[in-house]
Amino acid sequence: MSEEETLSKTERRRIAKAAKKQRQKALLQKADDLKKERKAKYREARTQVNSAPSDQFCFGCRCMGHLLKDCKKQGASSNSICFNCGSTEHILRSCPEKIENGGASYCTCFVCGQQGHLSSKCPQNSNGVYPRGGSCLRC
């Protein structure tokens, strides 16, 4: 007698179910790997398209060719400071104090580098809100 004949019907079903489950797991793993590979290719293609140096504009030094995050002229960033009261415990949105000066007392201007105003309100900014001049196309 063969091994298959010695197993009961329920044991054969259990083995068949386990084998089917393994095949499904393998298929899901393969599909997941393909999905990750596709995402990586898409991400790479998107970054190559978006990172053309000629189209990049730095809001830190107002020069073409790089972004603010890559700016060598930009000093320490103030990502975690409240622009209203200067606290590092919270940000402007959750400041408990009354907002004064438009909430820009502790922010640093991209144009002149001084503290206390935004680049849109900077007296040295001849282009207004937009780095290349112009206005909003929606309003």
The band of 93, judged by pLDDT with boundaries at 50, 70 and 90, is confident
62 domain residue, yes or no: no
Residue 91 and residue 131 share a domain: yes
Amino acid at 58: C
Residue 80 and residue 36 share a domain: no
Mean pLDDT of 111-135: 72
Residue 139 and residue 80 share a domain: yes
Residue 115's DSSP bridge partners are 108
Give the domain range for residue 82. Answer: 76-139
Distance, CA of 133 to CA of 57 (rounded, Å)? 13
pLDDT by residue (tens digit) across 1-27? Answer: 556 568 899 999 999 999 999 999 999
| This prediction's pTM | 0.37
Mean pLDDT of 29-56: 81
38: enclosing H helix or E strand? helix 9-50
CB atoms within 10 A of CB 60: 20
Number of structural domains in the chain: 2
Distance, CA of 28 to CA of 33 (rounded, Å)? 9
Are 105 and 127 contacting, i.e. CB atoms less than 8 angstroms apart?
no
